[in-house]
Structure 1
Amino acid sequence: MDTDYRLSSPAALRNREPILDVLRTVLPERGTVLEIASGSGEHITHFAAAVPSLIWQPSDPSLAARTSIAAWLHDTPLANVRAPLDIDAAAEPWPMVDADAVLAINMVHISPWRATLGLLGGAARLLPAGGHLYLYGPFRCADVPLVASNAAFDADLKARDPSWGIRDLDTVAAAATPLGLNLDRVIEMPANNLSVVFVRG
């Protein structure tokens, strides 16, 4: 019996359509979209099938994740999805020289702060003027207390790894601005998450 290497995330299945709705307003009509921390691969394969005019480049530092992405692509071949790359957001250089958009879904809070800084720096290097960096996940917002579910999630993340945790949106934006990434819009999403869109100046 063949081994099934496809990983599956219930959260990815729940949020992929709301995310896609936002991405349709953000992404260019043509070009290459780089996803950092693609995880199981369920997001990017869904997006690529829905938006065939774009080239989609998955990546993940985890071998298990890259194997899962490849398995999903084997199960549902998509001509507009490239083979997954081994990219650690915090490491330089990335094995990409340009991208027309960069995505990171549920990465910022489940990684050390240096990974967020690396993500911002890498996006700033790759994106053209007017290109977008899209982040999705829970964030702390000024003068808005964390809802109980996000507070519990934040505590669980920090218990698993003290370098993880829900980030302050103003702090992320402050780190992005000197790199030429300007906060363009923040969109409320289901389950107390946000879509955060930066544009390359």
Structure 2
Amino acid sequence: MTGPKPWLIDEAGEDVRRHAPATLRNRDAITALLRQVLPESGTVLEIASGSGEHVVHFAQAFPQLGWQPSDCEPAALRSIAAWAAEAGVANIHPPVLIDVEQPDWPVGDMDAILCINMLHISPWSATLALFRHSAGLLGPDAPLYIYGPFIRHDVMTAESNLAFDASLKARNPAWGLRDVTEVDAIAAENGLVRSDLIEMPANNLSLVYRRA
């Protein structure tokens, strides 16, 4: 059994709007969980927004929140803007260019940060930077929500995830499924502690971190 093919923004077609098939499969499950995680008001920063389909769906589901999408790819920023314009959602801010490993992010304090399906298709240094920046932007009870496939030593990893991990590493040795224990350790180094781990459909996890 093989895992899903990693979706990359530069592999899309000519349409300015990119489409990530995984968003249609996981957005409802993520939305249901976010109802328990997100604050009642404020601004949510999404890191690595990709096509922009997630942020449009979330903005429609949570109209009381402002949504700040971002990505490191100009093509992604154009796609985000196109999807947002087509949906006519007023609570989505214009997307901003954020490379997580850059020393400065062009945003201020946030009430929540979301990062969906980034950790396994980026180098470990990107995970380090995500936690470092998040710790500086989030208030005492503001959540950092992370979604994706992970490895847990106390739980058998699904064969599909093992195959996916192998395919990622074959494509780029710096990629691969991250160990939850190692992610927790990086969080702790930045003053964050995991408050929740929720199993999600298709062998994914939701991890929620807050200030210790």
Q: What range is the shorter-chain TM-score in? A: over 0.9
Matches for 1:80-91 after TM superposition, within 5 Å: 80-91=91-102
**In structure 2, distance between residues paired with 1:92 and 1:79:** 30
Residue of structure 2 aligned with 1:190, choices 187, 201, 209: 201
CA drift of 1:144 comes to: 2.0
Listed as ranges, the gaps of 5+ residues in structure 2 are: 1-13
- 1:33 is aligned to 2:44: yes
1:160 counterpart residue number: 171
What are the Cα deviations for residues 71-125 of structure 1, in whole angstroms up to 9, with x where unaligned?
1012112111001110011111111121000000000111000000110011100
Q: Distance in 1 between matches of 2:19 and 2:211?
A: 32
Please give the per-residue CA displacement for 1:166-195, whole angstroms capped at 9, x wherever unaligned: 000000000111211111010000000000
Kept in 2, the 8 Å contact 1:36–1:102? The answer is yes
Number of the residue aligned with 1:18: 29
For residues 40-98 of structure 1, the C-alpha deviation after alignment (integer angstroms, 9 at most, x for no partner) is 00000000011000000000001111110011012112111001110011111111121
Contact preservation (8 Å) 1:4, 1:71: no
> Corresponding residue for 1:115?
126
Letter in 2 for 1:156: S
Deviation, structure 1 residue 146: 1.6
Alpha-carbon distance in 2 for matches of 1:29, 1:69: 24
Partner residue of 1:132 out of 123, 143, 148: 143
Amino acid at match of 1:159: A
2:26 aligned partner, one-letter code: N
Matched, 1:65 2:76: yes
Counterpart of 1:103 (choices 111, 114, 130) is: 114
The CA RMSD over aligned residues, in Å, is: 0.9
Q: TM-score, normalised by structure 1?
A: 0.97
Aligned to 2:11: none
Identity of aligned residues (%): 56
Equivalent residues of 1:35, 1:59 under 8 A apart = yes
Alignment match, 2:186: 175
Aligned-partner residue type, residue 166 of structure 2: A
Shift of 1:145: 2.7
| TM-score calculated relative to the size of structure 2 | 0.92
CA distance in 2, matches of 1:86, 1:184: 29
